[in-house]
């Protein structure tokens, strides 16, 4: 198929880079978002998310006119739905954004169009949710228009590179839809393109992130066992990984982001009777922030009124994405325990967090702290000089939840140093 004009619905962490990449490759793109502030900001050339290389590319394609920004879909050759799929309190998938996006296409859907869902979704969403909505147009999927599912598989911080280089799976509701999806993504993708059916494509994305979640869960459980048995989990993992067939991941304060911390629940929701391992892994990782809290409480039994400085709130290092972040969950625990909490997230200094004083620099964060918690391994935090830090704060207790600092260096600077999952060297 020949695609001269693409309409991308949703201009967040995936939709905006995707729109920009297609536009950079000479396709006319209309980017759609219902958030009028996002639209107004983009029209002024201001990018609302941080991603290396994105700001420059957005400015380029806006300036040359290949990318237009609006609040509602327009007629196009292909439509890409890239809206969020969060979950409700009961861990059930919230597909309302996907449904609204599909409904917004109805007035402009025409014969011969291709519609691609990119939003991570439970199995059968394309076939059983999106297809019936689009067919309310009077057109029939597979006969009058084409319909496919192609999940994003990129890592924040490397999105612009991985959109191009990663393998891409495209699942159609029929063979013609899959082939059309292949034609579309070959415009920007240099990696392998794999064609399959839509439900397999949906499950592939969930399998990838569930696999990672389960492996992180065993690492986090090892950190708790190490704490129980007086072992340094970081040392133990390093030694265990010398085995040629073992690759244990590093533990941490939990799992966040919109993929690994969310996607496994979609499988549990779809088949709760046959997913006990997946469900347990999710519980382990969701409970890890509480383990951080318990580690701290063994050092400071009564947190009420204690002045604590949190370094990092993002779900992973060197990104501005705070979705489902375990660091935020830890902050909630500390506030509930009565602590006086300051937090410094260099990539989102204005993030509103109830009960927490957000700061704009390190000095402001630690100037009156009694303890410092390293919750995210941002490069600028890992590179802190302990001696210089000691001159900036009265705090002499640090808790490193991500193995980002040298115990010896911080001890030498006069700090009591505690590391998550390291009972071997603990003062407790």
- The 10s digit of each residue's pLDDT in 267-298 is 999 999 999 999 999 999 999 999 999 999 99
Distant-in-sequence, close-in-space partners of 118: CB < 8 Å, separation ≥ 6 = 14, 15, 18, 80, 81, 82, 149, 150, 151, 152
49 pLDDT band, cuts 50/70/90, is: confident
Report the catalytic residues.
205, 259
Percent of the chain with pLDDT strictly greater than 70: 100
pLDDT digits (tens, 9 = 90+) for 133-187: 999 999 999 999 999 999 988 888 899 999 999 999 999 999 999 999 999 999 9
pLDDT digits (tens, 9 = 90+) for 293-336: 999 999 999 999 999 999 999 999 999 889 899 999 999 999 99
Q: Is the pLDDT of residue 406 over 90?
A: yes
C-alpha to C-alpha distance for 5 and 30, rounded to whole angstroms: 8
pLDDT at 3: 97
Three-class DSSP category at 225: helix
Category of 57 on φ-ψ map: left (φ > 0), alpha (ψ -120 to 50) or beta:
alpha
pLDDT at 257: 84
pLDDT at 155: 81
Q: Is the pLDDT of residue 91 over 90?
A: no
Assigned CATH topology for domain 5-191: Rossmann fold (3.40.50)
pLDDT at 299: 96
What does each C-alpha distance from 120 to 10, 21, 82 come to in angstroms? 13, 20, 9
Distant-in-sequence, close-in-space partners of 23: CB < 8 Å, separation ≥ 6 = 29, 61, 66, 67
pLDDT digits (tens, 9 = 90+) for 360-405: 999 999 999 999 999 999 999 999 999 999 999 999 999 999 999 9
Cβ atoms within 10 Å of 96's Cβ, excluding its own: 13
C-alpha to C-alpha distance for 11 and 61, rounded to whole angstroms: 14
Domain 203-428 is classified in which CATH homologous superfamily?
NAD(P)-binding Rossmann-like Domain (3.40.50.720)
Domain residue ranges in the chain:
5-191, 203-428
pLDDT at 126: 97
When computed from its CA atoms, the radius of gyration of the chain, rounded to whole angstroms, is 23
């Amino acid at each position: 198929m020949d695609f001269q004009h693409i309409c991308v619905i949703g201009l967040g962490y995936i939709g905006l880079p995707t729109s920009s990449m297609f536009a950079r490759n000479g396709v006319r793109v209309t980017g759609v978002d219902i958030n009028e502030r996002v639209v107004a900001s983009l029209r002024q050339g201001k990018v609302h998310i941080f991603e290396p290389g994105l700001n420059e590319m957005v400015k380029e394609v806006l300036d040359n006119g290949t990318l237009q920004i609006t609040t509602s879909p327009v007629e196009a050759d292909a439509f890409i739905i890239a809206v969020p799929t969060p979950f409700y309190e009961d861990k059930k998938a919230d597909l309302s954004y996907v449904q609204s996006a599909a409904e917004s296409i109805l007035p402009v859907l025409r014969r011969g169009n291709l519609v691609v869902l990119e939003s991570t979704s439970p199995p059968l969403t394309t076939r059983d949710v999106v297809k019936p909505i689009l067919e309310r147009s009077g057109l029939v999927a597979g006969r009058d228009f084409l319909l496919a599912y192609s999940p994003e598989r990129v890592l924040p911080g490397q999105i612009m590179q991985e959109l191009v280089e990663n393998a891409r799976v495209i699942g159609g509701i029929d063979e013609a839809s899959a082939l059309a999806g292949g034609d579309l993504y070959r415009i920007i993708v240099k990696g392998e393109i794999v064609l399959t059916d839509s439900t397999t494509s949906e499950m592939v994305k969930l399998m990838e992130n569930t696999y990672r979640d389960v492996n992180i869960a065993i690492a986090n459980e090892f950190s708790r066992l190490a704490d129980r048995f007086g072992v340094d989990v970081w040392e133990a993992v390093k030694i265990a990984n010398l085995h040629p067939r073992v690759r244990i991941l590093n533990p941490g304060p939990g799992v966040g982001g919109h993929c690994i911390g969310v996607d496994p629940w979609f499988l549990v929701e779809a088949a709760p009777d046959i997913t006990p391992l997946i469900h347990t892994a999710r519980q382990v990782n969701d409970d890890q922030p509480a383990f951080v809290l318990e580690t701290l409480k063994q050092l400071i039994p009564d947190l009420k009124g204690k002045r604590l400085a949190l370094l990092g709130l993002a779900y992973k290092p060197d990104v501005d994405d705070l979705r489902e972040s375990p660091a935020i969950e830890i902050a909630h625990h500390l506030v509930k325990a009565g602590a006086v909490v300051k937090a410094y997230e260099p990539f989102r200094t204005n993030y509103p967090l109830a009960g927490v004083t957000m700061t704009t620099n390190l000095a402001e964060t630690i100037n009156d702290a009694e303890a410092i918690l390293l919750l995210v391994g941002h490069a600028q935090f890992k590179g802190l000089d302990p001696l210089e830090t000691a001159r900036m704060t009265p705090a002499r207790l640090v808790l490193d939840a991500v193995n980002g600092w040298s115990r010896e260096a911080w001890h030498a600077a006069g700090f009591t140093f505690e590391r998550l999952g390291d009972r071997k060297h603990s003062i407790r």
